[in-house]
Amino acid sequence: MAGPGIRFWEFAIALSRDYRVTLAVPNRNHPISSDFEICTYARDGEKLRELAQGAEAVVLQGFVLHFYPFLGEVDVPVVVDIYDPFVLENIQIHSHKPMYERVSLHRSDLRVLNSQLKAGDFFVCASEKQRDFWIGMLLALNRINPRTYDDDETLRGLIDVVPFGIPSDPPQHTKQVLKGMHKAIRKDDKVILWGGGIWDWFDPCTLIKAMARIATHRDDAKLFFMGIKHPNPLIPRMRATTQAIQLSKKLGLHDRFVFFNNWVPYEERQNYLLEANVGISLHLDHVETRLSFRTRILDYIWAGLPIVTTKGDSMSEMVERYNLGRVVDFEDVEEVTEALLGLLDTPNLRGSLRPNFERVAGLFIWEKAIEPLADFCANPHFAPDKVRQMESIASVKPTPWWDLPGKAWHVFRRRGWSALQREGQSYLRWRFSV
C-alpha cells in the first residue's frame, strides 16, 4: 500500500473499535482484517453506491468522487480527506510536459479538487499549516460563510487536523531482510534507508552524490531505497526514479553502495526500519514541500530510527525541535555528507535518542490522531450551509413545462451554451430532489 491506502487502512482499524466499519477497495489483492469488513467494488461502482446508501457516513479521498460522483449526492454526510494536496504534486509531476498540456491537466485537477470541497460536510487534513491553506480554498468556494461560521467560530466543525499516525504497538523484528541477506550488504554494514517511493518532488540525486563522497571514506555505508515501483499499476515510474538509477550507475555506486528495491509490503516494513542505522528523506524547495506531511518520517519515529531530512516542512521542524537527527539545506551535497557521517560515527546513537523518539511517538498514535474524525462519526451531520442549500432547492417552484422552451432560448441568447447546460442540470436536480 502507498500512503493513501495505508491511511484508510489505519482509519478502519482505529474506527472499528467503536463503529461498524466497511472499507471499500478497488483491488482484489488486499490485506485481510477481522476487525472490519472489506468490500471490493468494480469499475461501474454499483457496489460502492449500495454501500454508501446503507452507511451513516462516507469517508473518501483523492479521485474517488470524480470517478463516482454519486457519492456526493447520496443522502449521507461526506467526510473528505484532503491530507494530500495532489494538485500541487501534479504541477511538479507534469512540469516537463508542453505548457498547453500542463494547463489542461491542472484545470482538470482543480475541477476534481473543487468538487470535493463543495461536496464535503467535514474535512480532515494532516497539519495546522495544511489547515490554513485549505481554509483559504474553502473560503474562495464560499464554504466558509455566515452559516458555517455561526455553527463553529473556530471552523473545527468544518475542517480539523487528522495527521498520519503511528501504530500503538512497537515494531517487532520478525526476519532478517537486509544485513547479510541483500546483495552486497554485509552483517556489520551501516544502512541508510530511504523508506518509501521516489517521487518527482523528492531529491534522491543529492543523496546519491553524497554517497559517492561517503564511499571514499568508508566501504561499510550502504544506501537502500525501499521502493521504486508504485503499488498502483496505473502510476508510471517517475522521472526522479530514472534519474536516481542513472546517476548511481554513472558514479559506479549501483548495486555496490546504492540499492533499489521494487516495493516492501506494509506488514514487513518494520524489519527494514529496525535493521537500518539512519532514515533519510530529502526533498526539493517548492510549494509542495511547505504543505507536505512526509509519512515515511513517522515510520522512522515509530522505529526510533535517527533521521536526516531537508528543511522547509512541518516534519523537519519536528526533527529539529525534538532532536531526532539532522536537518539539512536544499540540494546541499556537502551538508548531507557531513550529517550522514556524523550520525553513522556516533556510538549507540539509537539508544541515546530513544527517549526523544518515544516522546514524539506518543503524539501520533493512530487512536489519538483520528479523534476529530471519530467525533464526527459519533454524530454524522450535514454541513450547515449544505442543509440550507438543500432546503432552498426543495422550496423553489419550477418553471412550468410550457414555459421551458422560452426560458431555454432566453438563457442561451443572453448567457451562452454553458449557462444553458447549468440551468438544465439545476432543473433536473430540483426535479429529482422533490
What are the residue ranges spanned by the domains of the chain?
3-165+369-387, 190-364, 396-433
pLDDT at 144: 97
Higher pLDDT, 238 or 7: 7
% residues pLDDT > 70 (the chain): 87
Bigger pLDDT: 268 or 393? 268
Angle (deg, nearest 10), helices 384-395 and 417-433: 90
Instruction: Identify the weakest region by mean pLDDT among 138-147, 261-270, 279-288, 384-393.
Output: 384-393
Q: What are the E-state strand segments in 53-170?
A: 58-61, 78-81, 122-125, 159-161
Q: How far is CA 44 from the centre of its chain?
A: 25
Per DSSP bridges, beta strands 58-61 and 37-40 are unpaired
pLDDT at 186 over 70: yes
For residue 39, report the phi and psi dihedrals to the nearest 5 degrees.
Answer: -120, 135
Least Cα distance to 264 among 237, 296, 236, 242 occurs for: 296
3-165+369-387 CATH pick, 3.40.50.2000, 3.40.1080.10, 3.30.413.10, 1.10.150.570 = 3.40.50.2000
Residue 209 or 29, more confident: 209
Name the pLDDT band for 29 (thresholds 50, 70, 90): confident
Neighbouring C-beta atoms of residue 60, cutoff 10 Å: 21
At residue 396, the pLDDT reads: 45
Q: Average of pLDDT values for 407-415?
A: 53
Measured CA angle at 199 (ends 195, 200), to 5 deg: 145
Measure the CA–CA gap between 123 and 367, rounded to whole angstroms. Answer: 18
- Residues in CB range of 359: below 8 A, 6 or more apart: 322
Q: How confident is the model at residue 233 (pLDDT cuts 50, 70, 90)?
A: low
Distance (Å, rounded) from C-alpha 138 to C-alpha 152? Answer: 15
385 close to 143: Cβ distance less than 8 angstroms: yes
pLDDT for the residue numbered 143: 97
Local confidence band at 431 (pLDDT 50, 70, 90 cut-offs)? very low
Residue 71 phi, psi (nearest 5): -65, -25
Instruction: Give 1-28 pLDDT, tens digit per residue.
Output: 778 888 999 999 999 999 999 999 887 7
Residue 71 pLDDT: 93
The residue type of 355 is P
Q: Which of 114-118, 287-291, 422-426 is most confident?
A: 114-118
CA distance 372 to 156: 9
pLDDT at 407 over 60: no
Average pLDDT over residues 407-426: 55
Backbone angles phi, psi at 100, to 5 degrees: -60, -40
Helix pair angle (295-303, 314-321), 10° resolution: 30
3-165+369-387 and 190-364 share one CATH topology?
Answer: yes
**Nearest C-alpha neighbor of 282 from the set 368, 346, 340:** 340
Q: What is the pLDDT of residue 433?
A: 46
In this prediction, residue 31 carries a pLDDT of 73
User: What's the topology of domain 190-364?
Assistant: Rossmann fold (3.40.50)
Give the pLDDT score at 28: 76
At how many degrees (to 10) do helices 371-378 and 3-15 cross?
Answer: 50
HSE of 174, CA atoms in CB hemisphere, 13 A: 7
Average pLDDT of the chain is 88
**Nearest C-alpha neighbor of 14 from the set 370, 270, 377, 267:** 370
Report whether pLDDT(79) > 60. yes
pLDDT in tens, 41-67: 877 788 899 999 999 999 999 899 999
What's the one-letter identity of residue 47?
K
In the predicted structure, residue 232 carries a pLDDT above the cut 70: no
Q: What is the mean pLDDT of residues 165-190?
A: 93
292-296, 318-322, 354-358: the lowest-pLDDT one? 292-296
- Grid coordinates representing 360 are 514524539
**Of 159, 149, 158, 80, residue with least CA distance to 120:** 80
Question: What's the pLDDT at 309?
Answer: 97
> 404: which 3 cell numbers?
421551458
Whether residue 5 contacts residue 233, with contact meaning beta carbons closer than 8 Å, is answered with no
Query: Which pLDDT score is estimated for 41?
Result: 86
Strand partners, 79: 59, 122
Checking if the pLDDT of 220 tops 80, the result is: yes
pLDDT of residue 384: 95
Do 214 and 340 touch, CB atoms closer than 8 A?
Answer: yes
Euclidean distance between CA atoms 204 and 192, whole angstroms = 12
Cα gap 162→101, rounded to integer Å? 34
List the beta strands (DSSP E) in 204-338: 221-225, 258-260, 278-281, 307-310, 325-328
Q: Could you count the other beta carbons within 10 Å of the beta carbon of residue 88?
A: 19
> CA-CA-CA-CA torsion for 309, 311, 316, 318, nearest 10 degrees?
140
Contact 283, 314 (CB under 8 A): no
pLDDT at 123 over 60: yes
Rounded to the nearest angstrom, the gap between the alpha carbon of residue 213 and the centroid of all alpha carbons in its chain is 33
